[in-house]
Structure 1
């Protein structure tokens, strides 16, 4: 296999599955050099243990956004905590971590259930077929983030539009930049008002507990990072997971009828789908040997979560969804190490509530039309999911 043979392979899928070339790279050249526009060489890491090692090594690898755009350390960026290094990453994450404990999240659980049921009511009252992305998978994560942050009820329709625009990349780079600016303006204004009168949401709690340590722009950036990390990914998982369950009625019946079975199904679907196909880029802090491949200081390393989560070394049947099978190792759908997704417990809770509720409300639900998958996507998913019952 020659260098640069598959420069976009890390973003490609065939249905639910990574393309065969990615598995071949994992076997034949697991640290794979690729030339990207501009002549820069990046290295794609694909084996489970190797990916886990890179993601867990913040001493030799940097996440700093300044490596991408040539700025100094820890400049303002579009990735929240994902593009920050210690000590700034450590400082900000310690503020967020307590808000994502299961004890804190249980306060949100009844509202998540209400949000799911409200959208199921609307689906039930609508004409068939229904696009499950537009009516279910897309709005639920936005409204859950509203609940989390403490967005006022009368502003949630505006937030839904901002959230949708934030992840619509079809209109080109200028529109995407404008959507980012609109989101930051909305969140900054929200922070200013929360500072005057802190509410019960996460922003209000952070201001009460740490208001003197966090300025308005930092709080807005943290909120935007939660939106980036928790919206499109959860939308994709809700849609892809629902599609898989509709295509696998035996598992769907157990999710519908057996309390608690959804927990292991969710974890297996997270591993299998790996909707975030590639982790935030890492940059070598020094010249190093990366599993037999020399890497120069400053060069970029990409970790393929999709390839790592399908590594045969994890166990038998890794190319299938087998909820009852024990997997050797922990899946990397939320990343690993200090940058593991801080909102993972909230995403898991959303899916554990949404899948059974959908299947119980519509036991005869079926796919009713073509399902177009995304192409060359960092976050994999479907464009629409037409269903009827």
Structure 2
């Protein structure tokens, strides 16, 4: 499926001063600060640009656009959360090189069946500048790496959890079916009073009643939801039931496409889910790759540049004939594979981050890749072999591990976003 350009890009327009005609000597500044976020600000021009984009997206879906003040509040909150994460990235020394950015834009163009020049032309046709597109992709890459470092690396799934999941009825179900979902979240603060919880529950029940009477789910999500996907009409994409907190995992199996769950209490608040599509079923032959790698992570005492230089030296030593496995045991900072000489064994490419998966797919069996970067740090990898396999016990374990990690990631991400929002100094001036 091709990715829509407007879904890939959310360009931010820089603040500007517009001058009147020559007869009007007066300068009319139209930009202003709409929010102070820690050590940065959000400008009215940024808010206006994002609001226009969201309005266009909603209109393309054929949904009614919420009132302007409601949309402004939702979009501004999204910009605040993004800004906080970008500042965390800056303090952590996360930088996106021009080479990485060019590669990401080339990948986006390729996914849309275009050359880079055609991609530039398509952006211009949509009223988007290539410079703004680059800036937005850079921002999204930084946010992705911040989340990987602050959220994903804290998640641990034990072997016992994997085995318990595989033995459960739900685990067996997940091998055959998955769901495309949308959600609406009515948040509940940590340590909320009973009165606050009751108010949130009443709001969620009111939304549920409106939906039962035929209200548009996407429009209500845009206007009322506090979920990170609110401005996309609550669209979450495809999920296995195991990725969702109970009792939604069991409820979804009984839902028909188009139906909505009743509001359920979760750590983040009250959530309603709409089932948009179902798919899956049957055994499928899957490609697996036997790969090993060495990971070098930037840290408080090692900059991105120093991590890059170290992986380049290790790459040269491997090329010069030193043993890959021994170097991985000595230097790799991936605790799951270092003791095994960097081996990830036979693995489904789909469970790997895109940067790793792309380099792996372009590396022939027996060959060693050039150093490359992912959200986890700097890698060099070697492809040991490729095979096609059915849903073997090994694959099912890997699939279960991935599902459980995704479930924990979704829950941890919402908690972390709420935490950094509460800890930040934010002053809005709408």
> TM-score by structure 2 length?
0.26
The structure with more radius of gyration: 2
Larger strand fraction of residues: 2
Which protein, 1 or 2, shows the higher relative CO under an 8 Å CA cutoff with sep ≥ 6?
Answer: 1
> TM-score by structure 1 length?
0.28
